[in-house]
Structure 1
Amino acid sequence: MLSQHIHRPGPVQDVIERMPYMRDEEKSHPLPSRWSDDDRMSGLEVLAEGTEVRFTGVTKTSDEAASVRSDQPMPKEVGLYYFEVTILSRGKDGLIGIGFSGRKVNLNRLPGWEAESWAYHGDDGYSFACTASGKAYGPRFSSQDTIGCGVNFRTGNAFFTKNGVYLGVAFSGIKAERLHPSVGMKKPNEHLRVNFGRSPFVFDIDRMMEQERQASMSEIEKADMSQLHPPDDEKALIHNLIGQYLAHEGYVETAKSFAKDVHEQQQSLVHNPQPFQIPDSEDDIHAFNRQKIRKSILDGDIDKALKYINTFYPHVLEEERNRDIHFRLKCRKFIEMMRRYTELSAANSASMAAARSSVDSLDGNGHAQKDVDDTVDDQEEVEDTQMELDDQIHREASKGLEPPPTADDVDMDASQELPPKASFMKQKELLEQALAYGQELQSAFGNDPRPQIKKQLSDIFAIMAYSNPSESVVGGLLDPRGRVQIAEEINGAILGKPPSAAIEKLCAQTEALLDETAAKTGGASALISVRKDFLQP
């Protein structure tokens, strides 16, 4: 595993904080959430927001039953899927089957009796795999028992539990696609309740998930990396990736410390160790300059970043290959201007609300409202408060400000407690500056025929259409994390290299590969997270 071969150097200097590599953990894999109102046999009544089902019909033959499936199939992307069913009521000599099936399986029979259908039946404890001929599997189950069903997409096995006890593998070699949790009943008033994960399970499925993850990690540990990047072995490859990342990002002192530490480890194994050669100081200067630019962008100070770029690398943004990066940096400046404006606007609104709330708590004489029967001590406290207020008025007047109306005036407090006029003037000034800069952008790029340019301009100008843009559909544009991408692009443009270091590309490509294979097979890749299992300490 990569993380085991990374030796952390001792003296590591402070570096500029960067956003960590993030996997998109919020990708939508629809999960079963209830029994389907449509995908069920007549005679079955779906209750309790889809978590319960009761049989109110009758069956005419020994083979006839009534089944229902979940609203969504079990996604392979989760690696291991599990749900539980509690038998609230089971009729005498009743037949209940719990398992899973494909969408085309008939619903007038118990699950497990037909092709692409698997189940565990309570009347005899048999398991049924796509046939009416069952095999002895577990104990019988009846009213108040909780039966769990799990499918391990890594191994292709399915298992059941009873009241939290694991019953072992019931089926193997499951490869069918889009399988739905399913239950079936035969006797009137048989009643079941399902738990698709909204409440804690009786069985400790988290422990099993961790065991599966560890099994997958063990397989990764055994992978042979000797020929991944010849002539480097695994350790040398890791060291090279880390060193290239530190140099790419401009972490000068950290890169030196790391290189020295690696060198000393290597030389400790040879008879004639060579001294460590300090890297060229000119490279350090460039790295420091790039860090200044990068930090300015991450701080949202695009003007400062542009100043540094024009000073240290005056022609880099004029190059044809970098014109789109230059455009995106200018767009980021507009976003940061609108971001400061919206923040100040929100602060002023909050101050006004607080001031009005304070005003509402005063009576007509400017006193805090109290009961008529307050004591003399309370009255003295009120008078002291009024004296403090009068003193504040005189202090403000002595600074050259116009004194507020007296306490006897009806609107005495409104102007005094609202945010300072300078704050509103600053807010107006920010908006005017943003509008002027937006007009510059429109004039410079508005006639560009490329769709991506027109869309970006349209998106950033849409910020002005909302009174609270951070809560709108364009709110993501104001997210400070958006600074990271443009900072990486500028850094790459200066270097004349890709905006991301090799190790970042490796992480992103590995993550994409895991997502793709998990969606197709649901194997070990569904249980592994690059960020959680390899990048976090």
Structure 2
Amino acid sequence: MMAATSDERTVMESTRANSEQNQVVDRLKMLYPMVNEEETPLPRSWSPKDKYNYIGLSQNNLRVHYKGFGKTHKDAASVRTTHSIPAACGLYYFEVKIVSKGRDGYMGIGLSAHGVNVNRLPGWDKHSYGYHGDDGHSFCSSGTGQPYGPTFTTGDVIGCGVNLVDNTAFYTKNGHHLGIAFTDLPPNLYPTVGLQTPGEVVDANFGQTPFVFDIGDMINELRVRTRLQIINYPTPDHGQGQWQAVLHKMVSTYLVHHGYCDTAEAFANSTGQVFEEDFNSIKNRQRILKLVLAGRMGEAIDLTSRLYPGLLERDANLMFALKCRQFVEMVNGSDSEVNFSSNDNQASVIQSTKAYTKLTNNGNIEEMNLNNSLNGTVAETHFINGQIENNDVDMEDNNTTSNINGVKNSSTNGYQYGNTNANGYKCQNGEDIDMEIDSANQNQQQNGTSGNMENSMTSTKCSKKQLCGGNKQAIEKMLEFGRQLYSQSIHLRQLYGKNAANKKMLQDAFSLLAYSNPWNSPVGWQLDPQERETVCARLNSAILESTNLPRRPPLEVAISHAQDLVRLMSSAGLGACGFAVVDNIIQY
């Protein structure tokens, strides 16, 4: 095997580093799901600024070594982490491995507040707490220690945990819990390590790698405790069955809101409620939302206009959002406007990018994408010094299996629906909506592929996603629709002023044309069927509001309020919020 070049090694190392970084982020999110690091960052390394000068740092500021004289206690030196422990952690834990105990092993591991003297070992001063290796004593804001645990030396792993629900701290040694060391802890403490004699070296693990101690059991215990505390909290019921009736009504309105007609009626009957909902209204919304979830946006818009006249005319921004989604579905080949049952004249929209127009800083992305569309061109674009540079992509028109219907097939084809031979979509209520099967797929089914490897490969490649289904007439229709959509955006801007959300929708939608394989592109996320749910919910809310019903069901509003309340309590330092994940409590 040939040795990797320096460039290849750099790429591999970069990929490995990114993978490791993602794993760290995922681990920390799993440990501390309620922490918002934009507001309260987690401790991830030792601070090169918040330390005594006898402390040396290395290995991404995770290794600490002593570089002082080590003659007396006045030579002690400590270092704190870059950030304090967020209350939203609920239970915070870190570990320190003793790489070398050095001359005497005068090491302290613990916690301290900001501003505590770093020319001391943790635990000796006020708002400072430490467990020392030379004698196994715990030090709580005092130079006098108390017997606590065993001594520790080279090779040992010492863990320090902070229970932010009870405001206590505990330690572990080589995976064994040593019991509670400190109580009544103040907030905003920093993980701290102190060394005192030459040769002492320790490594920290703030969650970058799995811990020696199984912290998961303690986290689960506190999670269950918090959940039971919430569930068992006494709620005064001033009227007999009042709360129960309110909850039943909330569930019923939620089912009606999302169109679960039969379920809503059955639930109302089983709970003694009078079901007075308009069945026709629910069925109408169901029909519209099924079309949206199937990607048939043109039909959904037409049906909405017929069933709810004037609704979309009154809400121009909603109409624009639906049209942007329709453009995306046209690119996807899902919208009925471009879902032809004939594959005649199939060709790539990508013919040449020679007519591509460079834009100056005064240009805008909508015009650039529209120009591309008007010229029947697509290019991968890069912004350089305020201009857009092109990587021309010329597509050849031939009948080989590697170039089906004029569109080159990439080895990665982006998102595909589960069944490549039928355009069926699964809706939220579990019912299927069958779309037309294009004749290319029909021909494959008629001709058959058994016993012929070459035919089998050709059939597989033919079933891959193509722009507008690979139909030239559909592509032309999509481009004309894009022109109209752009004109509509200008009209809206003239009537109502600039709208950042509308501008981004249009940019994202038009940007799909900049790639030969939009499903496998940076903007390909738009083609994921899950993206239909956002516009689906928006349209559903608008329909409900037009019939004097709430835009959002009370149950969802109550859940949102609960989530916001938990976030507020968390920012106020209430540690139990680290285990009050609303979604988990509801599922319980």
TM-score in terms of structure 1 length = 0.72
Separation in 1, partners of 2:252, 2:311: 25
- 2:507 pairs with 1:461: yes
Which residue is equivalent to 1:316?
A: 311
The gaps in structure 1 that reach 5 residues or longer are 1-23, 264-275, 360-394, 400-412
Which residue is equivalent to 1:267?
A: none
Most deviating of 480-489 and 147-156: 480-489
Give the counterpart of 1:129 among 112, 116, 140.
Answer: 140
Q: Once the 2 structures are TM-superposed, how far is the Cα of residue 455 of structure 1 from its aligned partner?
A: 4.5
Which residue is equivalent to 2:233?
A: 223
> What is the SS of the residue equivalent to 1:242?
helix
> What is the SS of the residue equivalent to 1:521?
coil
Distance 1:132 1:39, change over 3 A: same
Would you say the 8 A contact 1:325–1:489 is kept in 2? no
> What is the SS of the residue equivalent to 2:60?
helix
Would you say the 8 A contact 1:112–1:128 is kept in 2? yes
Matches within 5 A, 1:284-363: 284-319=279-314, 322-337=315-330, 340=333
Which residue is equivalent to 2:244?
A: 235
> What is the SS of the residue equivalent to 1:50?
coil
Distance 1:472 1:499, change over 3 A: farther
* Count of matched residue positions in the alignment of Structure 1 and Structure 2: 440
AA of the residue aligned to 1:88: V
Which residue is equivalent to 1:113?
A: 124
Q: Percent identity?
A: 31
Give the counterpart of 2:558 among 506, 517, 526.
Answer: 506
Would you say the 8 A contact 1:79–1:518 is kept in 2? no
Would you say the 8 A contact 2:292–2:532 is kept in 1? no
> What is the SS of the residue equivalent to 1:457?
helix
Would you say the 8 A contact 1:116–1:176 is kept in 2? no
Give the counterpart of 1:54 among 65, 82, 105.
Answer: 65
Separation in 2, partners of 1:154, 1:352: 66
> What is the SS of the residue equivalent to 1:99?
strand
Distance 1:495 1:300, change over 3 A: farther
Higher relative contact order (CA 8 A, sep 6+): 1
Which residue is equivalent to 2:95?
A: 84
Distance 1:485 1:346, change over 3 A: farther
Separation in 1, partners of 2:136, 2:295: 65
Q: Once the 2 structures are TM-superposed, how far is the Cα of residue 251 of structure 1 from its aligned partner?
A: 1.4
Which residue is equivalent to 2:569?
A: 517
Q: Once the 2 structures are TM-superposed, how far is the Cα of residue 96 of structure 1 from its aligned partner?
A: 0.3
Separation in 2, partners of 1:194, 1:43: 18
Which residue is equivalent to 1:528?
A: 580
Distance 1:237 1:455, change over 3 A: closer
> What is the SS of the residue equivalent to 2:192?
strand
Give the counterpart of 2:104 among 87, 93, 107.
Answer: 93
Q: Deviations over 1:18-68 (max 9, x none)?
A: xxxxxx979535322222333332233323333322213323542331212
Q: Once the 2 structures are TM-superposed, how far is the Cα of residue 430 of structure 1 from its aligned partner?
A: 5.2
TM-score in terms of structure 2 length = 0.66
Separation in 1, partners of 2:271, 2:262: 14
Q: Deviations over 1:180-233 (max 9, x none)?
A: 211010111111111111222121210000111111112112212234x85644
Would you say the 8 A contact 2:34–2:89 is kept in 1? no
AA of the residue aligned to 2:470: S
Distance 1:462 1:211, change over 3 A: closer
Distance 1:124 1:356, change over 3 A: farther
Separation in 1, partners of 2:292, 2:187: 50
Matches within 5 A, 1:18-97: 27-28=36-37, 30-59=41-70, 61-97=72-108
Q: Once the 2 structures are TM-superposed, how far is the Cα of residue 254 of structure 1 from its aligned partner?
A: 0.7
Distance 1:465 1:333, change over 3 A: closer
AA of the residue aligned to 2:479: E
Q: Deviations over 1:250-298 (max 9, x none)?
A: 21111111122223xxxxxxxxxxxx97x45x71111100111222223
Q: Once the 2 structures are TM-superposed, how far is the Cα of residue 528 of structure 1 from its aligned partner?
A: 1.9
Distance 1:62 1:439, change over 3 A: closer
Would you say the 8 A contact 1:341–1:427 is kept in 2? no
Would you say the 8 A contact 1:331–1:457 is kept in 2? no
> What is the SS of the residue equivalent to 2:129?
strand
Give the counterpart of 1:212 among 222, 232, 238.
Answer: 222
Separation in 1, partners of 2:349, 2:49: 51
Separation in 2, partners of 1:346, 1:126: 76
